[in-house]
Amino acid sequence: MIFRVRTRTLVLVLIAVAAIGAVFHVPPIPQNPAYHRFADHRMIFGIPNFWNVISNLPFLLVGLLGMGGLARRELARGLPELRAVYWTVFVGVGAVAFGSSYYHWAPSNATLVWDRLPMTVAFMAFFAAIVGERIDVQAGRRLLVPLLAVGIGSVFYWHFGELRGTGDLRPYAVVQFLPMILIPLILILYPASVRSSGYLWLVLLLYGASKLAELWDSTIFHALGGLSGHSIKHLVAALGTCCFLLALQRRRVAANALEPASA
């Protein structure tokens, strides 16, 4: 069954409202202090938590490659209107290398805010890109700034709440996980304007795998004896951002790109 635009959009809105309502139906969620206790805390070459710090370098590489490709106009073929969105994605990805390294050098709530900020920027821009590529280009462009404001606001809301002893991760949870529900639906419900969907599904798959690696940090560390789940999380997540870079490099305008969206 093919949904018309308004019906498909209504489905997404209803799912978003239901998910947000479910999250805020539970009590406030403070940051668990145990979050900062990672399995691998070895100091190597004078760098504390060495592998958790160093494993962020691929984010810098992908960010630089993405920004370089955009500067040379080698990326975003077919949808040049979203160049600002793509720039924001790769600036955020590159900044993750610095923010996450800083956090893992000395894990605490105070440094965690600098880890989450660039991740949120990259993630919200990626969501805006999906909206622009699948639903409406102008909508993707217009949503970029509001999405960034919501994402960044959710981090600071949690951070300043923690300083007052009333930390609440619920808005940040919505920002991080709601797009992971909506993006697959968008990819299924809306026709592709550019041919790169396989890479986008890989981005989602690798993101999910990175969260599992984070969850099994200690188990993986003891199983492998040298690399923790959290370090693997960084590498897998960076590979996901690389898949988005490949999507921009190899895409072509789809045959139905100029068809009415309501078809």
> How high is the pLDDT of residue 261?
39
pLDDT tens-digit readout, 159-171:
999 999 999 999 9
pLDDT tens-digit readout, 226-246:
899 999 999 999 999 999 999
On whether residue 47 sits in a domain, the answer given is yes
Which residue pairs from 148-153 have beta carbons closer than 8 angstroms and sit at least 24 positions apart in sequence?
148/88, 148/121, 148/124, 150/124, 150/175, 151/120, 151/121, 151/123, 151/124, 151/175, 152/117, 152/120, 152/121
Find the CATH number of the domain harbouring 59. 1.20.1070.10
How are the residues of the chain apportioned to helix, strand and coil, as percentages rounded to the nearest 5? Answer: 75, 0, 25
Instruction: State which residues form the domain around 226.
Output: 41-250
> How high is the pLDDT of residue 257?
46
> How high is the pLDDT of residue 262?
35
On whether residue 5 sits in a domain, the answer given is no
> How high is the pLDDT of residue 263?
30
On whether residue 29 sits in a domain, the answer given is no
One pLDDT digit (tens) per residue for the chain, 263 residues: 444 667 888 888 899 999 999 999 999 999 999 999 999 999 999 999 999 999 999 999 999 999 999 988 776 555 788 999 999 999 999 999 999 999 999 999 999 999 999 999 999 999 999 999 888 899 999 999 999 999 999 999 999 999 999 999 999 999 999 999 999 999 988 877 666 668 889 999 999 999 999 999 999 999 988 899 999 999 999 999 999 999 888 776 554 443 433 33
> How high is the pLDDT of residue 90?
97
State whether the Cα torsion 137-139-144-148 is positive or negative.
negative
> How high is the pLDDT of residue 28?
93
On whether residue 57 sits in a domain, the answer given is yes
> How high is the pLDDT of residue 182?
94
> How high is the pLDDT of residue 18?
93
On whether residue 1 sits in a domain, the answer given is no
> How high is the pLDDT of residue 241?
96
On whether residue 261 sits in a domain, the answer given is no
**CA-to-CA separations, 138 to 64, 79, 85, 131, 144, in angstroms, rounded:** 26, 11, 11, 9, 10
On whether residue 21 sits in a domain, the answer given is no
On whether residue 78 sits in a domain, the answer given is yes
> How high is the pLDDT of residue 252?
62
Q: In the chain, how many domains are there?
A: 1
> How high is the pLDDT of residue 196?
63
